Structure 1
Amino acid sequence: MKLIVNELKKVINHRTIIEDVSFTVNHGEIVGVIGRNGVGKTTLFKAMTGIYLTDNGRVLIDNQDLTEDIALKQELFFVDPLNNFYIHYTPMEIAKMYAITYPKMDVDQFLTEITDHNLPLNQKVKYFSKGMQGLFNVLLALATQAQFVILDEPFDGLDVLVRENVKRLLINAVQSKEISLIISSHNLAELDTLVDRAIILKDTKVVGEYSLENLRETARKIQLVFKDGLPDEIKQAGTLVEARGRVYVMIFENYTRQLDEKIANLAPLLYEELPLSLEDLFRTQLVNENDYILEK
């Protein structure tokens, strides 16, 4: 199965939150959606799943529009962490409700998972701790057997042990059931170890889409020192993300042999390659230069 988001647009209170948002999610793929606070990640997820009526665009699974084939919505799951109606019910009651909407859901297995993870079966979810609620949301999402599971900030507020447990559950589900995950998170270090591809939202639109495997083959993060400051031709070839005196950290998305030779010919006093992370990609795309350069 393939999920296609095609030119989605949503206007709220006369303000365009997202527009012309298009991307695909392939079978068995983990996709990260990243962007600054308020950029519209949650709005995008609500528009994708029909919680919001869209002002333009379509969402398709295997080229079938979800608004025309309601049964396909069983293949899409999303829990809005800020508007959870089911927190007023127990896991036992929630399982019965969701089994109606998601007929592939194995209720007995779900309740077994709840017990195995030491969550109370007969206590209302609103009385769970934040970490317990986060774990419960993931268990519920996976139990529905939906092909495409959307998770909005699934690691928010989780301690280290619960966070690692959630990551293990997600990775095992992708590997064993070949489901697809769409995840947003402020914790870019967590996404860095999970996602196959990153989609970047900025100013209502998708401004970048990167395969992390391909990115790490072509991009470089380099620490440089030059006697007379950073040459303009080097600055123009990449993104300056840090400056400490004469020490400059640059990210080059397309690091070629020609660029390598150009830097060598300028005889830097220091040339050191640093590990490249998803946070670095976030910096190059989403933050203005004056926001992130550290001057000392």
Structure 2
Amino acid sequence: MGEIMELKVNNLAKMINKHVVLNDISFTVKQGEVLGIIGRNGVGKTTLFRTMMGQYLADQGTVGIDDQLVSDDLELRQNMFFIDQQNNYLTDYTPAQIAKMYSLLYDKFDSDRFLTVVQEHHLPMDSRYRSYSKGMQGLFNVLLALASKAQFIILDEPLDGLDVLVRETVKRVLIDAVQTQHISILISSHNLTELDTLIDRAIILADARIAREYTLESSRENARKIQLVFREETPDFISEYGTIVEQRGRVIVVVFNDYNRKIDEMIAHSAPLLFEDLPLNLEDLFRTTLVNEADYVLEK
């Protein structure tokens, strides 16, 4: 089998207990890409992953790798990895036992490397998975996924509830794997801040559908976040061309989704008392277009 380049989800639909959870979901994941699946808890992120992996039968649509259907070729499943945290059968096993199991499931599973990195990250080798803290389990899951040598790693809320140090370790491990192994990652979250600096593209799920899709590099190139203070009232053009994301008295912070020369000239003409560029993060980019919609993507 040649080098795998793309994972394609086409018109996927799933109903559970007569409730539509997924409806007409389509997207592509390219080699070396980190795709964020974002939406509030209960929106269908886990159902999407389970359906992609064949744990649920799709009511409609297909999942394929390089135009070959995953459902028709068990070998293709070797190139997809997913741990279902809600139905996790690892709890009673040690790292060595888990490595033995996964070496049977994945032909390319690197047991030696897996056990080495588990030790390098100071995860207890003689302890059972269930005795690990939530942070330890999150890191362990990522190390296990990478040891599978699967091209497409699917991670369901892997950063949820982790402390800052563990979260940064997990993100660093993932970024290094993408850069050195050219794998692709699908990662879900209900918290935008968790995915900042990690994902290349984002899909927003709402009401069983893809509500919006963003390519972050191009969005960041055109956007700008500025702190301003005006002598009088805030000029109308600020709200017309930008989104005020914060206001403290006369101090406003505004995000312009498409900052251009015209806006620059209008600001200069209004002679603000303060003009200061601020760092632009992932949440800022979303708020420029989602401010009038449900706040689910801004949950903390």
Coarse TM-score class (shorter-chain normalised) = 0.7 to 0.9
1:164-193 Cα shifts (integer Å, max 9, x gaps) = 332232122112211111112345334222
Match of 2:74 in 1: 70
Q: Is the 8 A contact 1:91 1:121 kept in 2?
A: yes
TM-score (normalizing by structure 2):
0.86
Match of 1:217 in 2: 221
Q: Is the 8 A contact 1:35 1:286 kept in 2?
A: no
Match of 2:104 in 1: 100
Q: How does 1:224-235 map to 2 (within 5 A)?
A: 224-226=228-230, 229-235=233-239
1:116-148 Cα shifts (integer Å, max 9, x gaps) = 333233432112121221111111101110001
Q: Is the 8 A contact 2:202 2:215 kept in 1?
A: yes
Residues 55 and 251 of structure 1: CA distance in aligned 2, closer, same or farther (over 3 Å): farther
Match of 1:280 in 2: 284
Shift of 1:105: 0.5
Q: Is the 8 A contact 1:202 1:286 kept in 2?
A: no
Residues 138 and 103 of structure 1: CA distance in aligned 2, closer, same or farther (over 3 Å): same
The answer to whether structure 1 residue 116 and structure 2 residue 120 are counterparts is yes
Q: Is the 8 A contact 2:34 2:200 kept in 1?
A: yes
Residue identity opposite 1:103 in structure 2: D
Residue identity opposite 1:49 in structure 2: M
Could you tell which deviates more after superposition, 25-34 or 179-188?
Answer: 179-188
Determine the C-alpha separation between the residues in 1 that align with 2:272 and 2:294: 24
Determine the C-alpha separation between the residues in 1 that align with 2:145 and 2:162: 17
Residue identity opposite 2:182 in structure 1: E
Match of 2:19 in 1: 15
The answer to whether structure 1 residue 259 and structure 2 residue 263 are counterparts is yes
Residue identity opposite 1:178 in structure 2: H
Residue identity opposite 1:206 in structure 2: I
Determine the C-alpha separation between the residues in 1 that align with 2:151 and 2:198: 18
Residue identity opposite 1:152 in structure 2: D
Structure 1 gap segments, 5+ residues each: none
Q: Is the 8 A contact 1:240 1:289 kept in 2?
A: no
Q: How does 1:109-258 map to 2 (within 5 A)?
A: 109-226=113-230, 229-258=233-262
TM-score (normalizing by structure 1):
0.88
Residues 16 and 116 of structure 1: CA distance in aligned 2, closer, same or farther (over 3 Å): same
Determine the C-alpha separation between the residues in 2 that align with 1:76 and 1:17: 22
Determine the C-alpha separation between the residues in 1 that align with 2:33 and 2:65: 14
SS of equivalent residue, structure 2 residue 218: helix
Shift of 1:90: 2.3
Could you tell which deviates more after superposition, 29-38 or 128-137?
Answer: 29-38
Q: How does 1:33-44 map to 2 (within 5 A)?
A: 33-44=37-48
Q: Is the 8 A contact 1:225 1:269 kept in 2?
A: yes
Determine the C-alpha separation between the residues in 1 that align with 2:295 and 2:213: 22
Report sequence identity in percent: 61
Could you tell which deviates more after superposition, 279-288 or 17-26?
Answer: 279-288
The answer to whether structure 1 residue 56 and structure 2 residue 67 are counterparts is no
Determine the C-alpha separation between the residues in 2 that align with 1:102 and 1:264: 60
Residue identity opposite 1:57 in structure 2: G
**Aligned Cα root-mean-square deviation (Å):** 2.5
Residue identity opposite 2:55 in structure 1: I
SS of equivalent residue, structure 1 residue 151: strand
Shift of 1:27: 0.8
Shift of 1:93: 2.2
Residues 13 and 282 of structure 1: CA distance in aligned 2, closer, same or farther (over 3 Å): farther
Determine the C-alpha separation between the residues in 1 that align with 2:293 and 2:37: 22
SS of equivalent residue, structure 2 residue 264: helix
Q: How many residues align?
A: 292
